[in-house]
Chain A
């Protein structure tokens, strides 16, 4: 029987084939090799190991140190086989197949060898299987059974490690060296999968032990708690604490992570309706079996005591909350909104959708606003992050989305990373980037700070263009100038694929010497020669891909910078195939989806402008209402209108604008002016403290739906437990809509997706059935692309020909002054997520319990400040106080902090400057001063905020009191 292995169908993510496939191409393009294993004929791609070939034929050779997520190691000696014509015994994991090979995996001699190997392992291993946390999930146990181990003849009098003490320093997992068989899977996982290199083997021979850092507890080492080692460990040595506490799960459900824009696929392993652990799923095409500390471990917030599960209302925000039924909450909210509209006009109410909710839920909110509110005052958090991507890429390429898959990085020769910090904000993808860098790919980083990616272990030295905040466009123009000036453009590609006239105009524009590295150096601070070398590398180094993030978009010229990036890609022909492209790193799990679902004041689902009659009429017909053909308010405009007094009601789904939006005092003033604020969330967050109606939300574990990640990949979200509040969030929106008089009768979110697919060409082929069968789909997915679209703009751009936009550098209004001589830039950290609403309610606080201000040693010294000091941070917007960390990651003149903790009030400092095209706030450039604290240990705003918070929490605790 000839077994032909078809990688598209036959690879089962539930199985461990021992070693990886020789290439990740879905269809192998190299030679195929025929061999015989135990009499069965197998045909596999050249470069496959004997172990993997046998496994494909259904023969599982015993193994301990091999696993298919890691490179073959050959240390355990359990997988020995006999190969015809070769003397001795070969390790099947490290031996590659050869044409005509005859392999025998079983014989008396092999059996004895394997039992002897197992006997040695067991001689230094506790024999407490029945009470061990790995009972039922232990490869050592499995192998002992498979090889038929019956005795351990070495006795227990010799040297052993049975008294080694466990290390429980990490809140999520335990390291128990007494059970370690030194297979090195953990060390290799930390190197090859995660790329952090926190682990090593110390000593040698019998004294070999796993060492975190310098033999430190895990928490004190470089470990980032990604859990890859725990997953790789074949014994109980590295185990999740939840497994130790509760035992093995009884079933699992595949779902998608609710944290960042990588959108990792997970198996939620359950006992009944309790999640025991989240294990990244190998079949997930975004993450391929890897995860980070948040997705894997930080799910405890779903059952945190702060969780609110009952609807609440109150007449005004100085009164205690009152628990009510869902119907009463809907009636109250709808009544208030209608009376506000009667008094102040149709446009006096608006809504904000959550980029963390499902596509179906977001779609319903924008539908409700258009159909039931009757206006287009609907926006989402992309307003404050990637709206410039939407504008910029739509203008130049024709579609506002990333052009590649994550897998594409495997064919990249040059990475240009601008204003993104992947190892902290998209960790699983950051690990894949590091893996590619270790293979020799070159790296150019454009960032004011020295992000961790710059110093990746075992990678080539990177170009770090350390520019001043606010000068992106000048630098991008300089790169383009060099490419044109030195004749490195791809003329044939441009002639064929781009608009001639626009290119000619642009070429003349960019050729001017004012854009040269020599002349832009005065703005950027980057030496001209470095810029020239980087530009040459990008243009001529092979497949070059640009990855960018909020360091590009959150600026007054964010949209311009995005267009400049697209120009660079088109100029060098780096678009339309694997290994290249323009990759916006979308931050949240479903911000891509929120944009796709038309949660915008000016666009309907599928990025189609409201003013387009045919499209709008199609929606009007489907929804049975008239849709206002004029754009509505963006979030920033809603807040302005609220302060001014013309906007009086808002419905905010899963978004904490009081913490995440800039110029906090302005946001607070706006919220305080509302007569009806409806907040739908899991916890009483900063925004909810101003609310009149609280509608409890449901976590990603409690609902069915879909998320769309940064690759345009639509993945299923599957309910594993009943919603704590009784309703999934899509049902909540439907309930409110019904109370407003607009019926929404869906029995299941799949019906909502069917409606979306019917109305949106890019989603035409998407359905829950297909997602169940195929795992995920990348839009556009329709008749033109029945299996979805991994790479965009392959033959033509979505707008036809690519458009070169002019990108004049206009320095921001935000300039350093004598009063505010430093520039503040903001960002995020690995362990905390966004406003921290979820991660602050998990053990992740062990890593980042407060926001700190990173200051360069020079600036600290000038101010007489030392590491750990409390300082005041002030701007023209406000003042706050926080602790300092002296760091060389920032450059002199630039300071940095995060926004994860509300008490820090990082956004009290940020201003109302924003991108010219989209109003995306300029979080990344604020002129500040840092100094000794003024009087008390907290600023005036912080004290006011603390008092207000305390009052509101007290009012929450008094819920149920008679009013």
Chain B
């Protein structure tokens, strides 16, 4: 589990970040209980691990929805209707950023720059990036995500 992830990645230089990424990838977030295991496995102080996790907005310490929907808030996306998209998304989902739907399916987050500026505004779900987003396309995306999962995450 966490200990296995740490063991498999500790050889990498600056192993803490690859470990945190992998834990979040597998668990959906970085559980608070994992911090001590990470610290022990990497021979790092607990406070230091906590400091790194809390510094990066990307890492969440509380459980998140099955799908994490990230809306890009960088300049190009903002210039191409990103603000309207954001308003729509929040209304549609009834969420603010970093909040999760009651059925634990969707968490809304923001990012700064998905590197997809030519196709602004962009949204990412998991590892999938969607360009040229509009309110309609967003609604369709949410409906698709809400459908029962065809395969385990």
A residues at B contact (CB < 8 Å): 196-204, 211-215, 221-222, 455, 457
Contact = CB atoms under 8 A, between A and B. Distances in A.
Contacts of B47: 197-200, 211-214, 221-222
A213 B54 contact: no
Contacts of A198: 45, 47
Contact of A457 (B32, B35, B43, B54): B43
A694 to B, nearest CB: 47
Contacts of A199: 47
Given A202-B55, A214-B35, A197 B45 contact: yes
Contacts of B112: none
Nearest to A459: B43
> Which of A200, A211, A215 counts the most chain B CB atoms within 10 A?
A200
Contacts of B54: 202-203, 211, 215
Q: List 3 tightest A-B contacts by C-beta distance, closest first.
A: A200-B51, A197-B45, A202-B54
Contacts of A212: 47
Given A455-B43, A457-B45, 11 more contacts: A198-B47, A199-B47, A200-B51, A202-B50, A202-B54, A211-B51, A213-B46, A214-B50, A221-B46, A221-B47, A222-B46
Interface of B: 32, 35, 43-48, 50-51, 54-55
> Which of B43, B47, B48 counts the most chain A CB atoms within 10 A?
B47
B55 A214 contact: no
A457 B46 CA distance: 10
Contacts of A214: 32, 35, 46-47, 50
Nearest to B54: A202
Contacts of B32: 214
A214 B48 CA distance: 9
26 contacts: A196-B45, A197-B45, A199-B47, A200-B47, A200-B48, A200-B50, A200-B51, A201-B51, A201-B55, A202-B50, A202-B55, A203-B55, A204-B55, A211-B47, A211-B50, A211-B51, A213-B46, A213-B47, A213-B50, A214-B35, A214-B46, A214-B50, A221-B47, A222-B46, A457-B43, A457-B48
| Consensus secondary structure, chain A interface | loop
A860 B93 CA distance: 53
Contacts of B45: 196-198, 200, 222, 457
A461 to B, nearest CB: 8
Contacts of A221: 46-47
A455 B40 CA distance: 10
Contacts of B48: 197, 200, 457
A201 B48 CA distance: 8
A460 to B, nearest CB: 10
A909 to B, nearest CB: 32
Contacts of B51: 200-202, 211
A216 to B, nearest CB: 9
A203 B43 CA distance: 22
A212 B47 CA distance: 6
A320 to B, nearest CB: 53
Contacts of A215: 50, 54
A457 B54 CA distance: 20
Nearest to B61: A214
B111 to A, nearest CB: 16
Contacts of B46: 213-214, 221-222
B98 to A, nearest CB: 13
A92 B97 CA distance: 41
A455 B46 CA distance: 13
A464 to B, nearest CB: 13
Contacts of B35: 214
Contacts of A201: 51, 55
A196 B91 CA distance: 47
A201 B50 CA distance: 9
B53 to A, nearest CB: 8
A488 B51 CA distance: 46
Nearest to B56: A204
Contacts of B44: 457
A200 to B, nearest CB: 3
A59 B32 CA distance: 48
B116 to A, nearest CB: 25
Nearest to B50: A214
A197 B54 CA distance: 16
A866 to B, nearest CB: 20
Nearest to A461: B43
A834 B32 CA distance: 37
A203 B50 CA distance: 9
A272 to B, nearest CB: 39
Contacts of A222: 45-47
A199 to B, nearest CB: 5
A196 B46 CA distance: 10
B50 to A, nearest CB: 4
A214 B38 CA distance: 13
B27 to A, nearest CB: 17
A283 to B, nearest CB: 30
B31 to A, nearest CB: 11
